[in-house]
Every structure is written in C-alpha cells, then in structure tokens.
Amino acid sequence: MAHYAVGDTVTVRMPRGVNKRGIMGISVMYTTSQEAKFDGATGTVTDINPRGPHGVPLYLVNFAGHDNRTAIPWMAQWFREEWIVAAKQREPKIQPADKTAAAGFARSQSGESS
C-alpha cells in the first residue's frame, strides 16, 4: 500500500551510515548512486509506478518550483518509498463519533436485555 499520493510534498532522505573515517553521512553503499545527488532536496510526487523493477514501487518526484539548497542535476527522478519522507505532515482525518449505535447496543430485538 502506498504511503504517498500524487501531489504530496516529499524530501529525499537516503540511508545513513558511517564511512571509514567515522563520519556520519549517506551510506557508502549508495554514495555513487544517482539518487544520492538528491539527498535533502524537496519535491512533489507526480507519478507512482506500483510495480517497478523487481516489484519495488517507485515514486517520480519533480523538484521544479521548490527552493532547494542542494544542486540538483535534473528536475525529476524515480525514488523508492524508503528513500523519501513527507515534507509536511498530513492533517488527520477525524470521523465524528456516532452515539446512537452505542446506546442501542445493550438491548436485544425484543427490548429485553439478554
């Protein structure tokens, strides 16, 4: 199930790790990947490929129109779900409680308690 929808604002967050000098940064397994160039950049999800390569869902993130401090080599890139985080929290959808259902629960069809 997808955690992000088209139109959501996300930030790229690559997996973290310690390099051989003991400095925390992007994991050494991902430092040479194309996606590592976008670490820290904010963009908008524009497309979702639920059956990406090897069955891993991919999200197309467009970085145009966002004020990013990182140097972005191109304007859009596909990312795995675990490499992006929500830039802002969604407002929770609260459904009002239905008091009538709980009030009539204790009575049976004949009107007597069982």
Q: 50 CB contacts (<8 Å, ≥6 apart)?
A: 2, 57
Residue pointed to by tokens 């859009």 = 76
- The strand pair at 58-62 and 42-49 is best described as antiparallel
pLDDT band at 20 (very low <50, low <70, confident <90, very high): confident
pLDDT > 90? residue 15: no
Cα gap 61→11, rounded to integer Å: 9
pLDDT band at 5 (very low <50, low <70, confident <90, very high): confident
Q: Which pTM value belongs to this model?
A: 0.67
pLDDT, one tens digit per residue, over 21-34 is 988 888 877 777 88
Q: Please compute the mean of the pLDDT values over residues 91-108 and round it to a whole number.
A: 64
- State both tokens at 17: 């790790």
Domain ranges of the chain: 9-89
pLDDT band at 78 (very low <50, low <70, confident <90, very high): very high
pLDDT > 90? residue 62: yes
Q: 47 CB contacts (<8 Å, ≥6 apart)?
A: 6, 59, 60
- State both tokens at 25: 């940064």
DSSP character string of 30-59: TTTSGGGGGTT-EEEEEEEETT-GGG--EE
pLDDT band at 1 (very low <50, low <70, confident <90, very high): very low
